[in-house]
C-alpha cells in the first residue's frame, strides 16, 4: 500500500537558519504530494502541494519539488522564523476513485529559537 | 467563510462507554474525512463520506462508525471505548469528487478514555 516516510526529528534551529525536512514515499500510480503544518492546539493546514513529477509547490517561503526518480518531496526554507515552529507532515493522495484520503508521515516537530 | 468546526473540543469518557463526535464542514463542501491522531501511530485515516455515502474506510475495528447527513455534517461514533481510543480526532472537509487530497481540517476533538 501507499506509505510516507519522513524524518521524525525533533528539529531545533536558530532563527534565519536553513531548513530541510526529508520525505520519501511509496505509492502505486501517480499520487499528489502535500505538506501540511500543525500549530500547537490547532488542526492541520495545507502548506503546499504538487500534483505531478517535477512540480514545485511553494508557500510562505517554503518549497518542495516532486521528484519521481527518487520518490521524494523534501521541504525546504531558506530562512526560518520563530513563527515557523510547528509540526510538519508530509502526505500523499492516491486519488482512487475520487477519494480524498490522505496517507501521512509521522510528522516532524520544528522548534525555531530566537 | 467559516472553517470546519468540531464539537465538542474536549471529552472525557470511561472505558466501555460510547461517544459521538460531530463535524460541520465548510459551506459547500460535500466530502468529510475523519482521522485519528496519536503520539504512537501518528495520523491514521478512519473513513470518508461523500454525499451521505461512505466512500473509503481505514483499518479500524467495527466499533468505529460514522455517517453523513444531507447538509454534509458528519458524526462519528465509537462504541465500547478502550483506553487506546484516547486520541485527537480530526475532521477534514473538501469540495469532494476530484480526489485532489486538498483538505481543510478542523481543530479536533480531544478524547480521553479513563
Instruction: State how far residue B97 is from chain A, nearest Cα, in angstroms.
Output: 5
For residue A87, list chain B residues with Cβ-Cβ distance below 8 A.
none
Residue range B18-30, pLDDT digits in tens: 999 999 999 999 9
pLDDT bucket at A101, cuts 50 / 70 / 90:
confident
Which residue does chain A place closest to B108, by CA atoms?
A: A43
CB contact under 8 A, B48 and A49: no
- For residues B70 and B54, give the distance between their C-alpha atoms in angstroms, rounded to a whole number: 13
Residue range B5-19, pLDDT digits in tens: 999 999 999 999 999
Instruction: State how far residue B24 is from chain A, nearest Cα, in angstroms.
Output: 14
Q: Indicate the residue of B31, B43, B102 with minimum beta-carbon distance to A104.
A: B43
Residue range B63-97, pLDDT digits in tens: 999 999 999 999 999 999 999 999 999 999 998 76
For residue B72, list chain A residues with Cβ-Cβ distance below 8 A.
none
Residue range A42-86, pLDDT digits in tens: 889 999 999 999 999 999 999 999 999 999 999 999 999 999 999
Share of chain B above pLDDT 70, in %: 97
Three-state secondary structure readout of B64-111:
EEEEECCCCCEEEEECCCCHHHCEEEEEEEECCCCCCCCCEECCCEEE
| A89 sits in which H/E element | strand A86-93
Question: Tell me, what's the pLDDT at B36?
Answer: 98
For residue A103, list chain B residues with Cβ-Cβ distance below 8 A.
45
Amino acid at each position: 500500500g501507499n506509505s510516507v516516510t519522513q524524518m521524525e526529528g525533533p528539529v531545533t534551529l536558530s532563527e534565519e537558519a536553513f531548513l530541510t525536512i526529508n520525505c520519501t514515499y511509496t505509492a502505486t500510480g501517480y499520487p499528489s504530494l502535500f505538506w501540511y503544518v500543525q500549530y500547537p492546539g490547532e488542526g492541520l493546514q495545507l502548506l503546499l502541494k504538487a500534483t505531478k513529477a517535477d512540480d514545485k509547490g511553494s508557500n510562505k517561503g517554503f518549497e518542495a519539488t516532486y521528484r519521481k526518480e527518487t520518490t521524494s518531496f523534501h521541504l525546504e526554507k531558506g530562512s526560518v522564523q520563530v513563527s515557523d515552529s510547528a509540526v510538519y507532515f508530509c502526505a500523499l493522495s492516491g486519488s482512487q476513485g475520487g477519494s480524498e484520503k490522505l496517507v501521512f508521515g509521522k510528522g516532524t516537530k520544528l522548534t525555531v529559537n530566537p | 467563510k467559516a472553517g470546519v468546526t468540531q464539537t465538542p473540543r474536549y471529552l472525557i469518557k470511561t472505558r466501555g462507554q460510547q461517544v459521538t463526535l460531530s463535524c460541520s464542514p465548510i459551506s459547500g463542501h460535500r466530502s468529510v474525512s475523519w482521522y485519528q491522531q496519536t503520539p504512537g501511530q501518528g495520523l491514521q485515516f478512519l473513513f470518508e463520506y461523500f454525499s451521505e455515502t461512505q466512500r473509503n474506510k481505514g483499518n479500524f475495528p467495527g466499533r468505529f462508525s460514522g455517517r453523513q447527513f444531507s447538509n454534509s455534517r458528519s458524526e462519528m461514533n465509537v462504541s465500547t471505548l478502550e483506553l487506546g481510543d484516547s486520541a485527537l480526532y480530526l475532521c477534514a472537509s473538501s469540495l469532494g469528487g476530484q480526489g485532489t487530497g486538498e483538505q481543510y481540517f478542523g481543530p479536533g476533538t480531544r478524547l480521553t478514555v479513563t
